[in-house]
């Protein structure tokens, strides 16, 4: 049964492995994945923990239903990119394979003297030498490990050169395209000399009530697949969102200079990928199959891979002034091989290209002509970042690179809580803007992303769904705090169950919801939590994450947006004239804190901690 999956603690300094039960009480309070991870991370790190030091812990936690229905896990640690909370969700096939080994969570402590990888083969756990893998990219690493183990089906999480060289926004890869991208978890792998984690599992799953579970899966899947959203995702993948962003004026062109580029965007919209795609594939156990697989010749040679997601297309397309889809596929493929997060990577590159355009940095410093859309220069810079060479060594430090650049560079750096601004510009979509400002892992659209607000639902329907007046339009401030709060709490719970964000309530109110999850959980595990209790569980997880960053010094002053959002109205296009009004923003923030039960400074109130059963954490 999923609730009997074990926790492994692996000390890389002493090369010791310890296996224990995950208690039912922990499962009922945090389920798995993101929730169970923060419950451990909070206690095992502290304010003085160096994100790249041996005292940081790396936690890999599978969602509770991992492998049964969908398969996703979270990788959490103190973040080298921000210095605060690090946490990243990944799909693909590793999560469900890990579940088949009987393991639900892995906690990695210490640091190995030499490069290693960890092999979990059902009940056997081995720490193996990986010096021969050091320096290989993520694709080569996976091929080599499978050959070495003579196991073509082994599932692997690994880092590329960027993680090895402690690039602060290095990702962790699995397969061609599944990436735990944000917050630099790849650098934490690298800091521990950990090249990869390998899972080979064949344990059968035991289900609490197989017949009820099967019926529930069928009903939930039918409901999900009837939504226009799931159908569109299965046809176009997440890149379909680029069209919306451009149409409504919330994409970032050339690092937020414009928010719409009219028909010019067509060259990088979802349909442009058709020429290269050989079909659509899915992560384990997912009926949606939203990922393009491509294998195609191009002016850059063979393009082979999966994806890319909307966020990656947009980060290496419009964000960098590059409207050539082949070049986007090429550059995103390089990021995936090197293990560089495409969103943060595109953000820091956008900043560098802005500084170059403004003459704040020049070719003498960069060694490259960092002009908008200069694919050759961008490609070279990606390799320099991954190897920490020349100007790439500076940029590899993310926001901390500003210390090594002329003072004026800071003025153009856009970030929230030390995480780079993304490939969208939220001046017109007020709920998106609030969600970025309040996300517990720094600038991140996935903590809340109220996509529903930009889909044309009748407002009465939305008011009913959120049980509040949510305004007449996504351009208003009314009710947006309610929407952001709703999704933050729901998503925290969904990530802990291990269901994909795209399949749960995200862009469709008819996708997988609280009721569905309550039924799935009960029939699979026997854990009977009502939708209301699941809501409280999501609130518990989100509040604990907040408590984590509050302990690191985060307060209301940090729940904000770059000045650009407040001071510069969108110059043209469908969002022309929009900006974030400071007074309205503060009002949204007040309402938002109130909904969470936090004080005016964004600190969870004592009574909230008591209500959520989090008192033990306030004492840490």
User: Please, which residues have CB within 8 angstroms of residue 106's CB and are 6 or more apart in sequence?
Assistant: 7, 8, 9, 10, 59, 60, 61, 98, 118, 120, 197
Whole-number Å distance between alpha carbons of 177 and 171? 11
Minimum distance, C-beta of residue 289 to ligand SF4, in the bound complex (Å):
5
Closer residue to ligand SF4, CB minimum distance, 117 or 176: 176
Closer residue to ligand SF4, CB minimum distance, 195 or 291: 291
Select from 285, 276, 207, 205 the least CA-distant residue to 239: 276
Closer residue to ligand SF4, CB minimum distance, 89 or 260: 89
Closer residue to ligand SF4, CB minimum distance, 244 or 579: 244
Neighbouring C-alpha atoms within 13 Å toward the C-beta of 407: 0
Minimum distance, C-beta of residue 218 to ligand SF4, in the bound complex (Å):
17
Minimum distance, C-beta of residue 92 to ligand SF4, in the bound complex (Å):
8
- With residue 278 as reference, give the H or E element that holds it: strand 277-281
Whole-number Å distance between alpha carbons of 415 and 399? 8
Written as six digits, the tokens of 268 are 């990088």
Minimum distance, C-beta of residue 290 to ligand SF4, in the bound complex (Å):
3
Angle CA 289–451–546, to nearest 5: 100
* Contact set with ligand SF4 (CB under 6 A): 70, 91, 282-283, 286, 288-291, 500, 502-503
Minimum distance, C-beta of residue 276 to ligand SF4, in the bound complex (Å):
18
Q: Which residue has the tokens 């659509």?
A: 280
Closer residue to ligand SF4, CB minimum distance, 274 or 408: 274
DSSP state of 89: E
C-beta separation of 231 from 225 below 8 A: yes
Q: How far is CA 165 from CA 82, 169, 190, 338, 513, in A?
A: 17, 11, 7, 11, 41
Select from 106, 95, 96 the least CA-distant residue to 36: 106
Strands in 178-180's sheet, in edge-to-edge order, are 124-129, 116-121, 194-200, 155-158, 172-174, 178-180
What are residue 305's DSSP bridge partners? 294
3-state secondary structure of 183: helix
Closer residue to ligand SF4, CB minimum distance, 309 or 326: 309
3-state secondary structure of 248: helix
Minimum distance, C-beta of residue 270 to ligand SF4, in the bound complex (Å):
14
Minimum distance, C-beta of residue 371 to ligand SF4, in the bound complex (Å):
34
Closer residue to ligand SF4, CB minimum distance, 500 or 544: 500
Closer residue to ligand SF4, CB minimum distance, 70 or 351: 70
Closer residue to ligand SF4, CB minimum distance, 506 or 548: 506
Minimum distance, C-beta of residue 235 to ligand SF4, in the bound complex (Å):
12
DSSP state of 75: E
Whole-number Å distance between alpha carbons of 67 and 88? 18
Minimum distance, C-beta of residue 504 to ligand SF4, in the bound complex (Å):
10
């Amino acid at each position: 049964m999923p609730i009997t999956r074990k926790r492994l603690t692996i000390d890389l300094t002493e090369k010791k492995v310890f296996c224990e039960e995950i208690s039912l009480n922990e499962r009922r309070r945090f389920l798995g994945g993101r929730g169970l991870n923060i419950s451990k991370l909070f206690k095992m790190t502290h304010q003085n923990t160096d994100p790249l030091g041996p005292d940081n812990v790396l936690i890999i936690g599978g969602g509770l239903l991992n492998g049964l229905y969908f398969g996703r896990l979270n990788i959490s640690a103190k973040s080298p990119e921000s210095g605060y909370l690090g946490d990243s969700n990944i799909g693909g096939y590793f999560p469900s394979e890990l579940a088949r080994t009987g393991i639900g969570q892995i906690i990695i402590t210490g640091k190995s003297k030499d490069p290693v990888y960890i092999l979990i083969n059902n009940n056997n756990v081995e720490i193996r030498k990986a010096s021969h893998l050091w320096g290989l990219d993520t694709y080569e690493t996976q091929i080599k490990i499978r050959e070495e183990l003579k196991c073509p089906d082994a599932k692997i999480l690994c880092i590329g050169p960027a993680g090895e060289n402690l690039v602060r926004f290095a990702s962790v890869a699995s397969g061609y395209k599944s990436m735990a991208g944000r917050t630099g978890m790849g650098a934490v792998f690298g800091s521990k000399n950990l090249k990869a984690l390998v899972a080979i599992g064949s344990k059968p799953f035991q289900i609490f009530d197989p017949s009820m579970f099967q019926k529930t899966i069928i009903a939930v899947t039918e409901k999900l697949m009837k939504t226009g959203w799931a159908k569109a995702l299965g046809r176009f993948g997440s890149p379909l969102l680029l069209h919306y962003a451009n149409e409504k004026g919330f994409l970032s062109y050339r690092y937020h200079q414009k928010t719409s580029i009219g028909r010019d965007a067509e060259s990088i919209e979802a349909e442009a990928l058709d020429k290269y795609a050989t079909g659509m594939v899915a992560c384990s156990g997912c009926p949606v199959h939203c990922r393009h697989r491509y294998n195609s010749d191009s002016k850059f040679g063979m393009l082979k891979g999966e994806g890319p997601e909307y966020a990656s297309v947009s980060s290496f397309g419009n964000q960098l002034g590059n409207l050539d889809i082949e070049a986007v596929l090429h550059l995103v493929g390089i990021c995936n091989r090197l293990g560089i997060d495409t969103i943060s990577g595109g953000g820091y590159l956008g900043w560098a290209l802005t500084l170059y355009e403004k003459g704040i940095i020049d070719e003498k410093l960069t060694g490259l002509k960092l002009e908008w859309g200069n694919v050759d220069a961008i490609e070279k810079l990606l390799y320099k970042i991954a190897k920490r060479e020349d100007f790439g060594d500076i940029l590899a430090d993310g926001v901390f690179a500003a210390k090594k650049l002329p003072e004026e560079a800071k003025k153009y750096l856009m970030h929230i809580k030390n995480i780079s601004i993304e490939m969208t510009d939220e001046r017109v979509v007020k709920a998106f803007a609030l969600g970025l400002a309040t996300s517990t892992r720094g600038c991140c659209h996935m903590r809340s992303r109220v996509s529903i607000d930009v889909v044309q639902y009748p407002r009465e329907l939305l008011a009913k769904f959120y049980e509040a007046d949510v305004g007449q339009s996504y351009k208003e401030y009314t009710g947006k705090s309610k929407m952001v709060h709703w999704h933050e709490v729901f998503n925290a719970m969904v990530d802990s169950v291990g269901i994909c964000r795209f399949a749960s309530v995200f862009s469709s109110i008819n996708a997988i919801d609280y009721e569905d999850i309550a039924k799935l959980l009960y029939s699979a595990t026997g854990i009977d939590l009502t939708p209301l209790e699941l809501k409280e569980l999501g609130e518990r997880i989100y509040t604990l994450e907040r408590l984590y960053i509050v302990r690191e010094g985060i307060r209301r002053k940090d729940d904000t947006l770059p000045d650009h959002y407040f001071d510069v109205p969108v110059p043209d296009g469908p969002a022309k004239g929009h900006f974030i009004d400071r007074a309205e923003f503060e009002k949204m923030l007040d309402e938002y804190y109130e909904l969470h039960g936090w004080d005016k400074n964004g600190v969870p109130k004592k009574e909230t901690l008591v209500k959520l059963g989090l008192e033990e954490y306030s004492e840490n």
